[in-house]
Amino acid sequence: MGEKVPQLVDKEPRPLSRVERTLLDFVLEGPDGSPELRAQGASAVAVSACDCGCKSVGLEPARDAPDADAGDGAYGLSADGTSPTGTDVEVTLHVVFGRLTELEIWDGSMTESESRGELPDISTLRYRERD
Ligand SMILES: [Zn+2]
């Protein structure tokens, strides 16, 4: 099928947009947030963007923000919601070796992995239990 794998492309670091900040803070306030992750989140800037059209962004916390529990190496904190047009949107904050790396905002599960760049309505988001 020659399906293209979505990739994060490096960008000039920038502050998070309001919507990115809202989604990140929502996930960090959830049951799997920790003081270390929240400190990283508070300092994080966006350093990359996904090339597939979805709204996922790569994150870089401040260097002096504390490391979080590394767990098994990599894990995600997720919440599920729907966009104003009724599309399922998953928000996953990826943590790799105790550092925030990506805020994934994925709206392609109902459209055969084609993102339309939709964002969840914040009021619909529900925390997902970590595997
Ligand atoms: Zn993407």
pTM, two decimals, is: 0.94
Residue 101 belongs to a domain: yes
Residue 4 belongs to a domain: no
Residue 71 belongs to a domain: yes
Q: Compute, in angstroms, the gap from residue 5 CA to the centroid of ligand 1.
A: 9
In whole angstroms, give the CA distance from residue 89 to residue 94.
Answer: 16
Residues with CB in 5 Å of ion ligand 1: 6, 50, 52, 54, 56
- pLDDT of res. 129: 87
Ranges of residues in the chain whose predicted pLDDT is under 50 = 1
Residue 2 belongs to a domain: no
Strand pairing class (126-127; 8-14): unpaired
Sheet holding 57-60, edge to edge: 8-14, 45-50, 57-60, 99-106, 88-96, 74-82, 126-127
Q: Compute, in angstroms, the gap from residue 47 CA to the centroid of ligand 1.
A: 14
Residue 5 belongs to a domain: no
DSSP state of 122: G
Q: Compute, in angstroms, the gap from residue 73 CA to the centroid of ligand 1.
A: 22
Q: Compute, in angstroms, the gap from residue 25 CA to the centroid of ligand 1.
A: 20
Q: Which domain holds residue 60?
A: 11-127
In whole angstroms, give the CA distance from residue 39 to residue 82.
Answer: 28
Q: Compute, in angstroms, the gap from residue 72 CA to the centroid of ligand 1.
A: 25
Beta-bridged to residue 58, according to DSSP, are 48, 102
Residue 105 belongs to a domain: yes
Strand pairing class (74-82; 57-60): unpaired
Total domains, the chain: 1
- pLDDT of res. 92: 98
- pLDDT of res. 127: 98
Residue 33 belongs to a domain: yes
